[in-house]
C-alpha cells in the first residue's frame, strides 16, 4: 500500500505536464490565493471600519455564524449549475468555485479585523487621540498595528479553509490538487487519491507555517511578549472554526 | 417544494445518518478532549505542544482526511467509521484548547475555597472546576457542531450516505431541488445542534440565570 503511494509520488511522469503535480499545485495556489486576495480586499477594510466605529457589530457576529453553517459543497454545486451555462471557457469553471471560496473566507477575515481593532486597549487609543492624531491616524498607526495578530489569525483561519475547499472544487471541474482525489476515485486508483490527499495536507501545513513566520515578522515585538516590558495584548477572541489566541504558543 | 414532499422518506433517512455522523463525534470528541485539556492545564509544559499539536489536525483538509484515514486505520473507503473518526479528530482538535482555557478561567479563589472546604482534587474537578468551565466549553462545542455538520456533507464525494448525497445527486442530474433541500436541511440541522447545546448548557449552569453571570 505504502509502496504504491511512494511509487506514484516518485514516478517522474506525475511530475511533468499540465496534469503533473507542479501544474496542479500551481493551480491550487492560484485559486486559493485569488480567493483569499479578493476576500481580504473586501473583508479587511469592512472589519476595520466596524471595529473602529463600533457600528455593525451585531451584523458581523451573526453573519460569521450563519456563513459557517452553509455547506460549501452544496453552495458549490448550486453555483456551478446556476453560473456554468451563463459563462464560457475557463471562466465558467473558475467563477463558481471562486464565489464559494470568497464567501467562505470573508467571515473569519472580517471577524479577525473587527475583533482586533475592538480589542485594542482603550488607553492606547485615548493616548493617540490625546497626542492629536486624527481618526484615520489612530486607525492606521495605533489600531491596525495592535490588531495585526488577530488580523493574521483570521487570515490564517481563512487560508486553511480555502485550501481545503479548493480541493473540493475539483468535483466541479476545476484543476488543483483535488483533481488527483477525484480522478483517482473515478479510475479506482487508490494510490493517486492518497498521494493527492497527502499533497493537500502538506500544502495546508506549509502555508500555515509560512503565514505564522510572516506574522512573527510583521507584528511588533511589543505585542507578542518577545520584548521585555508590559505588552498590550488583546484578549482571547474566537475566529472562524479554529479558535486561536494571540499568545505566542498558538501557532 | 413538491420534490421535498415526494422525497420526505429520503430526507428523513439522510438527516438521521447526518445526525449520527456529525453528532456522535461531538460526544466522543468532548470525552477525549476533557482529559487532554485537563492535562494541558495541569502541566504547563504540555499546554503549548497539546494545543498547537491538536490544532495542526485541523489544518488537514476534510476530503484529504476522508481519503487518508481508511489507509491508516485499515478500513474500506466507504466505511462510515472513517467519517466518524475524522470528525472526532476535528472535534478534539477544536476542543482541547477550549477545555484547557475554560478550566484555566476558573478563578483561583474559587479553587482555594473548594480546597479549604475539604474537596479532594478529583472531587474539586468534577464538582467545581468542570461545571464552572461549562460555558466556555459549550461555546467551543457550538463551533465544532456547526462545522461538523458542514464538513460531514463533503463525505458525499466519496459516496458515504448523508445529506451531502443530495448535493451530488442534484449536480449529476442538473437539478436544483435536491441541492436546495440539502442545503436547507444542513442549516436547520446545524441550528438544531446549536439549540440543543445551548439548552443543555442552561440546564448545567443554573447560577448564570440566578446571579446574572457571576460565578
Q: Which one, of A36, A30, A239, lies nearest residue A147 by Cα?
A: A239
List, for residues A147-180, the tens digit of each pLDDT value: 999 999 999 989 999 998 999 989 888 889 999 9
Confidence (pLDDT) at A162: 94
Give the side-chain half-sphere CA count within 13 A for A85: 4
Task: Note whether B17 contacts A: Cβ–Cβ < 8 A.
Answer: no
Chains A and B form CB pairs within 8 A to the count of 150
Give me the pLDDT at residue A237, please.
53
Q: Which residue has the higher pLDDT, A187 or B200?
A: B200
Cβ–Cβ below 8 Å for A249 and B146: no
The tens digit of pLDDT for each residue in A189-198 reads 888 988 998 8
Chain B neighbors of A196, CB-CB under 8 A = 64, 67
- ipTM rounded to 2 decimals: 0.85
Is residue B140 less than 8 Å (CB to CB) from chain A? yes
- Name the residue facing A243 among B98, B163, B174 (closest C-beta): B98
Structural contact between residues B182 and B164, judged by C-beta atoms closer than 8 angstroms = yes
C-alpha cell at A48: 476595520
Is the CATH code 1.10.3720.10 the one for domain A19-224?
yes
Which residues in chain A (186-205) have CB-CB distances under 8 A to chain B? Answer: 190, 193-194, 196-198, 200-201, 204-205
CA distances from A72 to A99, A106, B166, B187 (A): 10, 13, 13, 11
pLDDT above 90 as % of chain B: 60
Q: Which of B41, B67, B153 to probe by mutation at the A interface, max A CB count within 10 Å?
A: B67
Kindly report, residue by residue over A95-113, the tens digit of the pLDDT. 999 999 999 999 899 989 9
Where are the domains positioned within chain A? 19-224
Contact B52 A249 (CB under 8 A): yes
d(CA B46, CA B53): 10
Architecture of domain B2-211 in this structure? Orthogonal Bundle (1.10)
Position A14 confidence tier, pLDDT thresholds 50, 70, 90 = confident
Q: Is the dihedral of CA B74, B80, B83, B89 positive or negative?
A: negative
Closest residue of chain A to B189, computed from CA coordinates: A69
Q: A163 and A200 in contact (C-beta within 8 Å)?
A: yes
Q: If DSSP codes are grouped into helix, strand and coil, which group holds residue A32?
A: helix
**Inter-chain touch B167–A77, beta carbons under 8 Å:** yes
Q: Do A171 and B157 touch (CB under 8 A)?
A: yes
B154 and A242 within 8 Å at the Cβ level: the answer is no
Does residue B214 have a pLDDT over 80? Answer: no
Closest approach of A122 to chain B, Cα-based (Å) = 23
Burial B141-165 (b: 16+ CB within 10 A, else e): bbbbbbbbbbbbbbbbbbebbbbbb
Q: How far apart are CA B155 and CA B62, in angstroms?
A: 8
All residues at 6 or more sequence positions from A208 whose CB lies less than 8 Å from its CB, including other chains? A156, A159, A160, B59
Q: For B89-139, what is each residue's pLDDT tens digit?
A: 999 999 998 999 899 888 889 989 999 999 998 899 999 999 999 999 999
A190: which chain B residues are within 8 Å (Cβ-Cβ)? Answer: 71, 77
For A127-178, the three-class secondary structure string (H helix, E strand, C coil) is HHHHCCCCHHHHHHHHHHHHHHHHHHHHHHHHHHHHHHHHHHHHHHCCCCCH
Give the one of B60, B149, B150 whose C-beta lies nearest to A204's C-beta: B60
Mean pLDDT of chain B: 90
Q: B92: which residues sit within 8 A by CB, 6+ positions away? A: B29, B32, B33, B36, B54, B57
Give the largest CA-CA distance in chain B: 68
Q: What is the DSSP letter of B128?
A: I
In this prediction, residue B31 has a pLDDT band, given cuts at 50, 70 and 90, of very high
Q: Where are the domains of chain B?
A: 2-211
The pTM assigned to this predicted structure is: 0.83
The reply to whether B184 touches chain A by the CB within 8 Å rule is no
Amino acid at each position: 500500500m505504502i509502496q504504491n503511494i511512494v511509487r506514484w509520488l516518485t514516478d517522474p511522469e506525475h511530475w511533468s505536464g499540465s496534469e503533473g503535480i507542479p501544474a496542479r499545485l500551481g493551480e491550487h495556489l492560484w485559486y486559493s490565493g485569488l480567493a483569499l486576495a479578493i476576500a481580504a480586499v473586501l473583508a479587511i477594510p469592512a472589519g476595520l471600519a466596524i471595529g473602529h466605529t463600533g457600528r455593525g457589530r451585531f451584523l458581523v457576529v451573526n453573519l460569521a455564524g450563519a456563513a459557517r453553517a452553509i455547506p460549501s459543497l452544496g453552495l458549490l454545486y448550486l453555483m456551478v449549475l446556476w453560473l456554468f451555462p451563463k459563462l464560457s471557457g475557463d471562466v465558467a469553471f473558475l467563477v463558481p468555485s471562486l464565489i464559494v471560496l470568497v464567501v467562505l473566507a470573508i467571515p473569519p477575515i472580517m471577524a479577525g479585523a473587527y475583533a482586533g481593532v475592538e480589542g485594542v486597549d482603550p488607553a492606547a487609543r485615548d493616548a493617540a487621540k490625546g497626542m492629536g492624531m486624527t481618526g484615520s491616524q489612530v486607525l492606521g498607526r495605533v489600531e491596525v498595528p495592535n490588531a495585526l495578530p488577530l488580523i493574521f489569525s483570521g487570515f490564517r483561519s481563512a487560508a486553511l479553509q480555502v485550501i481545503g475547499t479548493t480541493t473540493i472544487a475539483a468535483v466541479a471541474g476545476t484543476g488543483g490538487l483535488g483533481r488527483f482525489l477525484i480522478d483517482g476515485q473515478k479510475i479506482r486508483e487508490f494510490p493517486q487519491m492518497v498521494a493527492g490527499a497527502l499533497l493537500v495536507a502538506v500544502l495546508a501545513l506549509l502555508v500555515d507555517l509560512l503565514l505564522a513566520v510572516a506574522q512573527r515578522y510583521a507584528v511588533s515585538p511589543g505585542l507578542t511578549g518577545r520584548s521585555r516590558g508590559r505588552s498590550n495584548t488583546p484578549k482571547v477572541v474566537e475566529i472562524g472554526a479554529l479558535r486561536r489566541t494571540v499568545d505566542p504558543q498558538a501557532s | 417544494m413538491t420534490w421535498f414532499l415526494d422525497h420526505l422518506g429520503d430526507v428523513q433517512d439522510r438527516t438521521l445518518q447526518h445526525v449520527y455522523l456529525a453528532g456522535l463525534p461531538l460526544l466522543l470528541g468532548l470525552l477525549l478532549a476533557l482529559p487532554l485539556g485537563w492535562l494541558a492545564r495541569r502541566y504547563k509544559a504540555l499546554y503549548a505542544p497539546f494545543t498547537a499539536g491538536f490544532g495542526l489536525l485541523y489544518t488537514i483538509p476534510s476530503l484529504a482526511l476522508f481519503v487518508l484515514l481508511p489507509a491508516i486505520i485499515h478500513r474500506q473507503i466507504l466505511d462510515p467509521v472513517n467519517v466518524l473518526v475524522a470528525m472526532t479528530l476535528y472535534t478534539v482538535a477544536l476542543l482541547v484548547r477550549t477545555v484547557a482555557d475554560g478550566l484555566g478561567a476558573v478563578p483561583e479563589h474559587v479553587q482555594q475555597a473548594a480546597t479549604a472546604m475539604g474537596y479532594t482534587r478529583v472531587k474539586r474537578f468534577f464538582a467545581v472546576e468542570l461545571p464552572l468551565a461549562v460555558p466556555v466549553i459549550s461555546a467551543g462545542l457550538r463551533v465544532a457542531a456547526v462545522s461538523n455538520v458542514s464538513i460531514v456533507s463533503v463525505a458525499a464525494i466519496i459516496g458515504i450516505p448523508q445529506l451531502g448525497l443530495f448535493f451530488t445527486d442534484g449536480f449529476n442530474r442538473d437539478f436544483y431541488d435536491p441541492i436546495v433541500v440539502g442545503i436547507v436541511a444542513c442549516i436547520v440541522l446545524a441550528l438544531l445542534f446549536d439549540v440543543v447545546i445551548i439548552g443543555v448548557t442552561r440546564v448545567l449552569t443554573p447560577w448564570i440565570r440566578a446571579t446574572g453571570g457571576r460565578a
